Chains A and B, each alone.
Chain A
Amino acid sequence: MSVLHLDRRPDGSVSLFIDGDLQFDSRDERIYHECLVLPALAVAGDDGRSDLQVLICGGGDGLAAREVCKSPAVGRVDLVDYDGQVVALARDAWPDLHDDVFGDARLTVHQADAWAFVAAAVAAGRHYDLIVVDLTVPQDVTAAAFHSLEWYEQLAALLGPTGALAVNGLSPSATPAAFWTPYNAMRTVGLHPKPYRIALPSFRDQGYGPDWGFFLATATPLTADRLAGLALASPRQALQDTEHLRRLFALPADGAALRGTVAPYHRGDDSLLRRLGEQDDALPTEATWDALAAAVDPAPLPAPTASGLLPEPVRAAMATTAVDGDALLERVLTVMPALQPQHTRAMIDTLLQDPGRYLAAIDLGGLVERLLARAAELPAAIVTELRHLKAHLRELLSDTGALLRLGMRVVTVVVVVVIVANLVFPDSAYGKGGGAHVGGSGSFYRSSQVTAGTLDPPVVARGRGYRQNPIGHHRTLDESGAVFPARRFRFRTHSYWGHHYYHHHHHHADGPVGNDQTPAPESIYRLSPETDVLDDGRIALTLTRRTALIVDDEVVSVVDTASGNQVMALQRSDNLVFRLSQELERQRQGLARTIDAKLAWNAWVSWIAFTPWYAGDQSELQNLRRMQAKLTDARNLLGFRTGGLVEPPPPPLSGAHELFTSVWLMPDGTGIIARLPDGTDALLTASSWGRFGGSLGTVDSPYPEGFRRAVTDVLATMVKDADATYRSLFQERTEAKQALASLQRDLTEYNRIAATDGSSQTVDYGSSEIPCHEALRRTESDIAGIRQQVQELDQRLDTWPRDVYNARQVLLDFGRKAGSP
């Protein structure tokens, strides 16, 4: 049973969803169904045969059957769908759409599993002239069987030498490795599949990929000449003629190259699901491969995957001897593919962080013993490693990180096996670490952060943000096309914004916002989680709920976003400008790539000419271009810097902690140092504001009360966050110590038993009974692990950053000044 949902729109159009997946949208379903069915139908009836025997697998909506029944040559149609609800709904809910096909005497509906039906038909020696496989994208191993070698073997047997097979595929652009997998399965069983593709706005809207592919397979290869002579059944609304059809056989060349490498698989294998997880982030190129260029595809045909434990890339990485030591594990983790269709790269990366935790529950000593007992089945080098491991287990057990760093192959394999078992289980997604977002280049708060020598490559925006019309309007977009509510940055734009910022900035430092305030600028683009590009091209960094930094063309303003006041003007460090520029440029290039990809796609869509132009494409392109221009403006306003890395600015005093750009905490917690636009440093304490460094002097401005409040706000957040982390670690340590004490009690007890009754005595260990020596060994091993954990936590808690104490000290001082407790 599935959940069906029929979405009826005011314009009379309908969409059917099964289990949340779009099946068809009446606005463009004719493109899909005419293209799926009519070419193969024409091939099947090509030699003038009549009384064609047709099998439709799936297609309970009746729409593929409608296409089949257009041909008077069709004698009988068997439609097999396991879901009776769909057929029942189709009869009642959209008779106009399928032209009452269920009333066609040639059609027989079988409510059955397609696999069982096909197997029975093969066993009965039946033949079909045309088979249409209209099944949905597989989500599990059972459904993936409908692209396995066994499935196509059976279909080939049913087809006979002159039949034609039409198969609903996947997106050749979005998931090329998955798309070419059934292609090779069909080739392996002796069919000659010809892939072709269409553009389907409704599928694209659902995120199924920019294009959608099918296969037309025959026992004797289909040639371009034969295609040109086909008589397509009518009437048709989407597919114009064979010349039009011919265009569809151009596929992205990069993806097509994969057909030489993606192995077909046997029933029960999950290779296809894994490949569905490999979303292609490469750019769509205009280079295409003509599927009809050669009658027989000369591309090499990979052998079927041996269904096994290790994913193919992992097996290959492990088999090479080029990488060894701890680099091997790193390499293997890098190539670990998605083992579930829903696993994104970001999620896999998160799941693979800290690989030592995959060893935590293992009784390594017990495992080593068992593996040594099977030494004959293992390579000699591995046995040597195991012996070494056994000899040094006691010291190695306490630190899984160190154990991994030793780089033993056997440890690497154990970790990988445990990881694979975990990734195979679908709900491991709960160990989630975000699905949608791309890396970005971190925080821009501080200038002392080491500038990354290399940046992430620019990305193509896949999110739908740019398709929503138009940009701005209280929405912020990022490089991936994700949408966020806009942040509003209320602040005065002073008439002196420019050259006189410093000498006069204090004139407006406090007090109510006057009439010179322009409407609060909004964020339009999110450069990083806390960094926004505003619609006027300036850059805003959100420090706390009420404090932000506005990076202008000459200064960095500290702004109290509650009052809208600029409370201090700071020096713009070259390092900050450089890093912001670099990131802006990277993301601008990403948008440029997205625009290129968009143009290529639009060109292809108009070339294949189903829909004159997808309605949203124009505005999407316009949005992308506008945003690109906004980033260019921001970069220009910032003053674009090129060249090598820019060193972080030197701190005013050794040991000073950078709170945010151009502001430091004194190393003794006595105050705050701000680097002013003219490059001089000023010291802020609870009661004074004066020049800092070299000779003490006065600053030509009164005590900056607003700045003190802003700094207090930032310090309070810093202390609060640090306290939270401390409490969390403290709790962890308390629990670890409790566990350690409990284990030590057990150890004492086991030692006592061993001393009095001998170490072979059976003892309780958790819920099982094991020999005392075994209980001792395992308890010692657990103690070693937990002791290590406690030591690490001790270390972290005992060396709590000095800055936090200093920040607390300054807060106390400032608080006293403000008269708060």
Chain B
Amino acid sequence: MKPLTVRRLPDPGTSHPWAAAWEHLVRHCPESGFMQSLAWATVKAAQGLQVVHLGLFDGETLVGGTLAYTLPQPNGATLLVSPEGPVLPWSRPPAVVAGLRALLPALAAEAGACGAISWRIEPRLTPPRPDALRGFGRAPIDLVPQTTLYLDLSPDDDALLAAMHPKGRYNIRLAGRKGVTVHATTDPAATTRFYPLVCEAAQRDDFYVEPPGYFALIAEHLMPAGLARFLFAEHEGQLLATMLLVTYGDRATYFYGGTANDKRPLMAGYALQWAAIRQARALGCRSYDFFGFEPHGDPDHLYANFSRFKRQFGGEPARFIGAQDHMFTDRLADAVVRAFQEIGSSR
């Protein structure tokens, strides 16, 4: 096999000759997702992260690569992170080996410049971990949930409803009967409607919410391109539930959401999900990712609460190999030596 070459691609925020080819690759790589899209990279750049875009070339053809994000720490220690990446033909192991073999030295060079001690990848691969990843180890922190729930969007409405847990179906209908309505918007200014409700839910259900600017950036960079929208479920003008829905390639992702403390018997959260599911299909998506799910019903799991709700909509649980780190041992040794020097000079 002819060795692949790696080139650093231009800033994702600019239009460049490889942009369309890259998007095409990502959209058609089932192990990848929107976090490898150029639009997401512009969000990360606006968040203050440095974006490293490496393209893998077979001759002049772009065949894969990765968008890696880092917060450079020239005097410290940091990570290079490729959520939902790298973009490789994962079903063909030799091609994966060839791709990684080309990418790793390029990433090692990037690591030297930004102070990264490891490259963290997170392809949506189901276990067992491919042999090509032998040089990687399980990372301490996942950025994308390791277990999730996929709903296949190919059946029609009736079939989807029929496949749901009866309670889910009942609650969807109940919310409709009680007059809960749902509308979607791609207006970034709606962040200010979305955010307080998510915070209300976060306080109640004890999950972490990023600062408002994070959602404002996502809205600004993804919504104009139609890659994201806010959905709002309302009753008599009162906002009861909201979500940020990301649609990219074949997959729609229920990225963030929350329901109000008020009027909970109206089941607005069910109406919202159902509207999102139908909207996702109308937008051409084939699967709906609930983004985080605990399949067994383990009550101590971090996702236990949300999973009880998500379970009502049917779908198939999916489990991934989780984030994997390729350590740059030389860079780690540098960092350890530097740490000892800092400790020594503090004495």
Contact = CB atoms under 8 A, between A and B. Distances in A.
A742 B128 contact: yes
A503 interface: no
A493 B188 CA distance: 52
B261 interface: yes
Interface stretch (A235-243, A445-453, A547-555, A719-727): A719-727
Interface string B84-105: 0000000000001101110010
B255 to A, nearest CB: 12
Interface in A47-92: none
A725 B326 CA distance: 30
A512 interface: no
A361 B206 contact: no
Given A725-B296, A767-B104, A2 B332 contact: no
Interface string A378-420: 1100100000000000000000000000000010011011101
B166 to A, nearest CB: 16
Contacts of A735: 127-128
Contacts of A379: 340, 344
* 10 nearest CB pairs, A to B: A20-B212, A361-B137, A766-B134, A140-B48, A767-B100, A724-B297, A766-B135, A361-B325, A432-B208, A421-B77
Contact of A767 (B48, B101, B210, B332): B101
Given A485-B261, A766-B136, A309 B75 contact: yes
A426 interface: yes
Contacts of B264: 485
A435 interface: yes
Nearest to B48: A140
Interface residues of A, number: 92
Given A308-B76, A766-B133, A370 B298 contact: no
Given A7-B192, A309-B75, A742-B128, A371 B297 contact: no
Nearest to B77: A421
B275 interface: no
B19 interface: no
A315 B333 contact: no
A17 interface: yes
B93 to A, nearest CB: 10
Given A374-B337, A426-B49, 13 more contacts: A5-B191, A308-B338, A309-B338, A315-B346, A319-B346, A319-B347, A361-B137, A370-B333, A414-B336, A723-B296, A765-B135, A767-B132, A768-B104
B15 interface: no
A483 B200 contact: yes
Contact of B48 (A21, A139, A433, A723): A139
A724 B299 contact: yes
B319 to A, nearest CB: 8
24 contacts: A1-B220, A3-B189, A4-B189, A5-B189, A5-B192, A20-B215, A21-B212, A309-B75, A309-B77, A318-B346, A319-B343, A357-B138, A361-B327, A367-B329, A377-B337, A417-B335, A418-B117, A422-B79, A435-B207, A435-B208, A436-B202, A725-B299, A728-B301, A766-B97
Contact of B188 (A3, A424, A428, A435): A3
Contacts of B347: 319
Nearest to A745: B131
Contact of A2 (B216, B300, B333): B216
A371 B344 contact: no
A422 B116 CA distance: 10
B17 interface: no
B185 interface: no
A422 B296 contact: no
B21 interface: no
B181 interface: no
A215 to B, nearest CB: 24
Given A362-B332, A421-B335, A483 B203 contact: yes
